[in-house]
Structure 1
Amino acid sequence: MIGALMLDIAGTTLTPQDIEILQAPQVGGLILFARNIESPQQVRALTNHIRRIRPEILIAVDQEGGRVQRLKNGFTLLPAMGRFGELYQQHPEQALVLAEQCGWLMATEVLAVGIDFSFAPVLDVDDVSDVIGDRGFAKNVEDIPELAGAFMKGMHRAGMATTGKHFPGHGSVKADSHVAAAVDMRSYKEIYEKDMQSFIQLMPELDAVMPAHVIYPQVDSNPAGFSSYWIQEILRKQLKFNGVLFSDDLTMQAACVVGGADARIQAALQAGCDMGLVCNDREAASLALQGLEGFPFPDQTRLERMRGKIPDIDIGEQLALGSEWQTAKHAIEQFKQTIANK
């Protein structure tokens, strides 16, 4: 069974304490950070070990590109998604081809080292938010579905599920929800007509959605990730989304309005999330596990869709994943060089 908690580990190998907590039935996922990464070979050894402990676990990472990519040494350094949006203004067809190649390349490298999926793509508009910025594909909301759709097509072709974040939109909110309470005072109509459009148009291609730790007081008093209105009424009923719902990290400052880690994961699941993330705080993760005692397990059919097509290959000190990988890698690195030369 896949449990409802996703947590993290401290280092590049499993400690006895890691092994103990991974065996807790309600631990269903593990997210890797930069501190867990030394090389492709080491990551594959780590994920193989994790699966010997818990074969059913889902392993994730944030490998968006730009300033948010955890896999660096030995992996392709990807451009920020906003660079595709800039190219799209002048050369839309080229931008879409490169976005798809980038999605395929990211997914292929992540899968090769035994990680099921990256929490990608960001579907937020590049507006006033500093924490989003060029993590979003474009400043023009109408450009995002085309570009993100191409990126997701590449992910799917490689065998990776997609996760759109941060519903219903974080790009129009100045505050960084990692470190502060984030509030968006706009009406539902304004949010729907702008920020939500990329999610709505790409809904058929989304395997999962991550709600924002943002409060939209004109709609509901709770942050979207704790709001049964946003999750059950809007996402599930009105938009008919039947994929997985992951909470954003429940240790973020904007999530603390709900209480301790036990109360936060309970609130997220009761609102309709399938899995809650508790990162960079083992004490909080243990408290969240206690909070899950007696909770039903999440929908297994939904969560199984997030399992990546991980190849049965030996990874050496350097990635070598075939001719298509070489072609895509060259195209993305050439694109980055073109940007650098401007």
Structure 2
Amino acid sequence: MIDIAGTELTDLDRERLCHPLVGGIILFSRNYADPQQLSALTTAIHALRSPSLLIAVDHEGGRVQRFRDGFTRLPPMATLGRLWDRDPTLACAAARQLGYVLASELRARGVDYSFTPVLDLDYGPSRVIGDRAFHRQPEAVIELAEALGQGLRQGGMSSCGKHFPGHGYVIPDSHVELPVDDRAFEAMQEDIAPYRQLALGGVMAAHVIYNCMDCNTAVFSNKWIDYLRNNINFDGVVFTDDLSMAGAGVVGDMLARVETAYAAGCDMLLVCNAPDVVGKVLANWKPEIDARRSRRVEALIPVAPEKSWEQLQGDTIYRAALRTVGELMA
């Protein structure tokens, strides 16, 4: 999964997006000007291939929402956690409505998939998770994430739990440092619990070393990916976190990162914000193609037609959900 620099496709973008090793694209704020531009861009991307490329975005709410003007502003997930402390039933209903707004708006503009929900537990000191997490208690995370996932599915979108097996305990930000979690395996079971309980279309592995398992980050650890597949019995897409992050530097250059993550069992490898090395990876990476991995990724591409933006405005479920989201933002 690669990215592009601007708000429309260049000839080089088209060439790379048509490369057989590329299965998706992730969009960032720099790729967004307004809703009409986004619709034109996603239409152009989908027209390149059949089956079409998976178009993804980080659109969680709070400080991680790539498209803002023209989209409903979404609260951080900790807002739902605080509501859960007062009224779990009301919080789950609100999470379901928030998920529907999130998915239906993105789908109306041609985006297939959002990397959400964050399943990390909020231990407090983390420099990168914080209010992106629903709650400290796994029970609350499971209930709220399940409700959010129901809303996503209602809006025509699958879900992606992150960051497996848990990024909330460590303090450093893996974008700029390499975090190490030194807890015993038994102490991590609360973090892992949401992955056991939830029906997820995708899981994003963390750039964190867990000493209880091995000396690799989860992204590069065949032990963690094997545990996810064969102990938790997850059969969806395993995504790496962005391989250009500092936490991914432990195994070497970008080609080494791609090769190691694929060998560990990751299905979709994110190479973001590194356009110079994308060409080198596509020219030099020679993986053994695994049809099962391709089928998993294709399963995330929505098959039901999305509601148009105009149809959404007349959708009573959407309008009621907007009111709930507005109350959460107040």
Which interval holds the TM-score relative to the shorter structure?
A: over 0.9
**How far 1:161 moved relative to its partner?**
0.9
- TM (normalized to structure 2)? 0.95
Listed as ranges, the matches of 1:138-157 within 5 Å are 138-157=135-154
Q: Which residue of 1 aligns with 2:211?
A: 217
| Residues 1:238 and 2:231 aligned together | yes
Does 2:20 align with 1:39? no
1:219 Cα deviation from its structure 2 partner: 1.2
CA separation in 2, counterparts of 1:180 and 1:310? 41
**Aligned residue type for 2:49:** R
Which amino acid is the alignment partner of residue 327 of structure 2?
Q
RMSD (Å), alpha carbons: 1.6
State the match for 1:303 in structure 2: 297
Partner of 1:48, secondary structure, is helix
Check conservation: 1:112, 1:311, Cα contact below 8 A: no
Name the structure 1 match of 2:18: 23
Q: Separation in 2 of the partners of 1:215 and 1:287? A: 27
Out of 241, 258, 266, the residue aligned to residue 265 of structure 1 is 258
**Matches of 1:173 and 1:264, distance apart in 2:** 22
Q: CA deviation at 1:311?
A: 3.3
2:96 is the counterpart of 1:100: yes
Structure 1 residue 206 and structure 2 residue 203: aligned?
A: no
Alignment partner of 1:111 is 2:107:
yes
Q: Is the contact made by 1:40 and 1:315 (CA closer than 8 Å) also made in structure 2?
A: no
Which sits farther off after the overlay, 93-102 or 51-60?
51-60
1:310 Cα deviation after fit: 6.0
Equivalent positions of 1:168-183 (< 5 A) are: 168-183=165-180
Structure 1 range deviating more: 46-55 or 242-251: 46-55
Cα deviation, residue 235, structure 1: 0.6
Counterpart of 1:227 in structure 2: which amino acid?
S
Q: Is the 8 A contact 1:114 1:310 kept in 2?
A: no
Structure 2 counterpart SS, 1:53: coil
- Conserved in 1, the CA contact under 8 Å of 2:104 and 2:306? no
State the shift of 1:113 in Å: 0.8
3-state SS of the aligned residue for 2:241? Answer: strand
Q: Deviations over 1:127-168 (max 9, x none)?
A: 131200110101222211011111011111221111100000
What's the CA shift string for 1:213-248, capped at 9, x where partnerless?
10012211100010000001x111111111110111
SS in 2 for 1:186: coil
Of 306-315 and 103-112, deviating more is 306-315
Contact 2:156 2:306 in 1 (8 A): no
Q: Which amino acid aligns with 2:39?
A: R
Amino acid at match of 1:235: L
User: Whole-Å Cα distance in 2 between the matches of residues 280 and 26 of structure 1?
Assistant: 18
**What displacement does 1:198 show?**
1.5
Give the percent of matched residue pairs that are identical in Structure 1 and Structure 2. 45
1:116–1:310 CA contact under 8 A, matched in 2: no
Unaligned runs of 5+ in 1: 1-5, 338-342
Residue 312 of structure 1: how far off its partner (Å): 5.7
2:223 to 226, 229, 232: 229
1:183-215 deviations in Å (ceiling 9; x for gaps): 0011111112x211121121xx11111110100
1:340 corresponds to: none
Q: Do the aligned partners of 1:117 and 1:160 also contact (CA within 8 Å) in 2?
A: yes
Give the unaligned 5+ runs of structure 2: none
| Correspondence for 1:190 | 187
Q: 2:214, 2:314 → 1: CA distance?
A: 47
Scaled by the length of structure 1, what TM-score is found? 0.92
